[in-house]
Amino acid sequence: MNTYIKIIIACVFSVSVCACRKYVEDTPLQNTRVLVYTDDYRLLVNDAGKTETASGMPAVFSCDDVDFTAPEVANAVKLNTIYTQMYLWRKPFYSTIQDDYDWNNVYAAMYEVNTVIEGVMDSKNGTLAVRQAILGEALVHRAFAYFTLVNLYAKQYDEKTAATDPGIPLLLKAKLFVDLKRNTVKEIYDQILADTKTAIPFLPPTPDNMAKPSKSAAYALLAKTYLYMRSFGNAAAYADSALAIKSTLADYNTYVATSTYTFPTQFNDKEVILRRVPRSTYGAAQLSAGLLSLLSTNDIRYKLFVAPGSKLSPSFTGLGFYPRDKYNSGDKSAVGLTVPDTWLIKAECFARGGDKDNAIKMVNDLRKLRFSAADYADLTATDAADALRIVIEERRREFFGRGTRWFDQRRLNMDAFFAKPVTRTFDGNTYTLQPGSSGYTFPIAPILIAQNPEIEQNPG
């Protein structure tokens, strides 16, 4: 029995224990359950422990926002072979007996949403509108899951090669025994677009709970997907659609009005469109000199999220970042869909379309809410290329510590201006990540390859 199947069995069992109804077991061999009532599917699609988990530490460790030069941090990283491999872009990340829980958790969620997608429209005791709403949510959950996976374990979308580049296994049915041969990158992106567009008519404009997909979330996901496909006209159009529903940006001055620096949870954050949290976090991620050179000490984001190394564990000389939960009741970083992300996607599309003025206006409208009035000054651009640089730098300021930078680095390797080597010195050795290298594609855990020989491993 392969690893994926074992995950699914555990997943189904856990849901059957938590749900109000017991599932009907068809055969002990497959350990499957049959859902009957619409409320059963609502419970399944609401399994936030599965659907809300997105990318974890690999994206943070690998991106150029961190640089573990402090001896205390470097020594702590050395104690964990997986972290060391991620940080140095060395493959494999995992030994032959270690699981990749970032992969496992997302595919476990996939089984649940596939179960919903397959069965909810035939369920009993639910109105058509309710069944359609549940279906729409499940489709967006699946689309977001595939967007996450394909941008970790496959090459960046390239129109010229996407139809042949190995992607990830595309699983659209809730089956326990499946062929895990990898579909192409294009097939994965086509499915993301299809799922999300199919969901839109069934969803409300905004959700009653930020963990639930809505029309605004579907539009924001389409904008993000098309951005990564470099289809900038489509990205701009869907960003407009998302922002037409939800476009409120928070004034960070309100969060530093008191010494407690209280930051809202994602459930209460007016900027969150769809709540997603990292699977894991790390307490002492040292910020790189490159990132710090972009952050003014007057920037409220610096005041909120940059931490003296002396306050982190392990303690070190230098600067790190506080995860979001330092400022609220235990919430984690927002790695899902947000207004600022969609806002800056639209700004980037303006710049790529040659409209520097509107691109810079959007950046400045965001920045006015990230500085006090006394510290704020407008940015200016000499031309569209300069505006694009400013937008990308603002993305780095806005999202550091979340792993977003790694996703941006991957796609920006297709722009000559941004495609630059990243170099690290660690334990007396120098490591360089070249633009477009195989280091930008995470390896698939060897245990998965051993148990599922049809899965093709990524280049070393």
pLDDT digits 0-9 by tens, 339-398: 999 999 999 999 999 999 999 999 999 999 999 999 999 999 999 999 999 999 999 999
- Tell me, yes or no, whether 181 lies in a domain: yes
**pLDDT top residue among 24 and 113:** 113
Q: Which of 12-21, 86-95, 143-152 has the lowest mean pLDDT?
A: 12-21
Using 50, 70 and 90 to split pLDDT, how confident is the model at 400?
A: very high
How many whole angstroms separate alpha carbon 386 and alpha carbon 442?
31
Strand partners, 94: none
Nearest Cα to 335, choosing from 90, 54, 35?
54
- Tell me, yes or no, whether 357 lies in a domain: yes
How many whole angstroms separate alpha carbon 174 and alpha carbon 459?
30
b/e string for 68-80 if b means 16 or more Cβ within 10 A?
A: bbbebbbebbeee
Number of helices and strands (H, E) in the chain?
18, 10
Q: Which of 5-14, 37-46, 154-163 has the lowest mean pLDDT?
A: 5-14
- Tell me, yes or no, whether 21 lies in a domain: yes
**Residue 389: CATH number of its domain:** 1.25.40.390
**Contact predicate 192/147, CB 8 Å:** yes
* Two tokens, residue 166: 């190995």
How many whole angstroms separate alpha carbon 53 and alpha carbon 403?
13
Mean pLDDT of all residues in 220-226: 98
**Contact predicate 274/242, CB 8 Å:** no
- ∠ CA(113), CA(199), CA(166), 5° rounding? 65
Mean pLDDT of all residues in 70-99: 95
Using 50, 70 and 90 to split pLDDT, how confident is the model at 9?
A: very low
Q: Which of 33-37, 98-102, 136-140 has the lowest mean pLDDT?
A: 33-37
Q: How does pLDDT run across 250-301, given as a tens digit for each residue?
A: 999 998 877 666 788 899 899 999 999 988 877 788 999 999 999 999 999 9
- Tell me, yes or no, whether 274 lies in a domain: no
Nearest Cα to 234, choosing from 351, 106, 346, 117?
346
Dihedrals φ, ψ of 426, to 5°? -145, 125
> C-alpha distances in angstroms, 392 versus 66, 116, 285?
17, 38, 22
pLDDT higher than 70, residue 25: no
**Contact predicate 222/210, CB 8 Å:** no
Beta strands 53-54; 277-278: pairing state: parallel
**Contact predicate 189/211, CB 8 Å:** no
pLDDT higher than 50, residue 5: no
- Tell me, yes or no, whether 296 lies in a domain: no
Residues in contact with 421: Cβ distance below 8 Å, sequence separation at least 6, in sequence order: 432, 433, 434, 435
Eight-state DSSP code of residue 157? P
Q: Residue type at 306?
A: V
pLDDT higher than 70, residue 94: yes
**pLDDT top residue among 403 and 326:** 403
Give the count of domains, the chain: 1
- Tell me, yes or no, whether 315 lies in a domain: no
Residue whose tokens read 């596939």: 114
How many Cα atoms within 13 Å fall on the side-chain side of residue 123? 29
Segments in 52-184 forming alpha helices (H): 57-62, 71-78, 81-87, 101-119, 128-153
Using 50, 70 and 90 to split pLDDT, how confident is the model at 171?
A: very high
pLDDT higher than 60, residue 48: yes
Mean pLDDT of all residues in 197-211: 97
Strand partners, 170: none
Q: Is the peptide bond before 314 cis (omega within 30 degrees of 0)?
A: yes
Mean pLDDT of all residues in 407-423: 97
How many whole angstroms separate alpha carbon 113 and alpha carbon 135?
9
Q: How does pLDDT run across 288-321, given as a tens digit for each residue?
A: 999 999 999 999 999 888 989 998 889 999 999 8
Parent domain of 373? 3-252+336-451
The predicted pLDDT at position 258 comes to 72
How many whole angstroms separate alpha carbon 318 and alpha carbon 272?
31
pLDDT higher than 80, residue 18: no
- Tell me, yes or no, whether 262 lies in a domain: no
Using 50, 70 and 90 to split pLDDT, how confident is the model at 1?
A: very low
Mean pLDDT of the chain: 89
How many whole angstroms separate alpha carbon 129 and alpha carbon 76?
53
As a whole-number percent, the residues of the chain with pLDDT over 90 amount to 77
Mean pLDDT of all residues in 111-127: 96
Eight-state DSSP code of residue 382? S
pTM, entire model: 0.92
pLDDT higher than 90, residue 207: yes
- Tell me, yes or no, whether 276 lies in a domain: no
Strand partners, 223: none
**Contact predicate 316/309, CB 8 Å:** yes
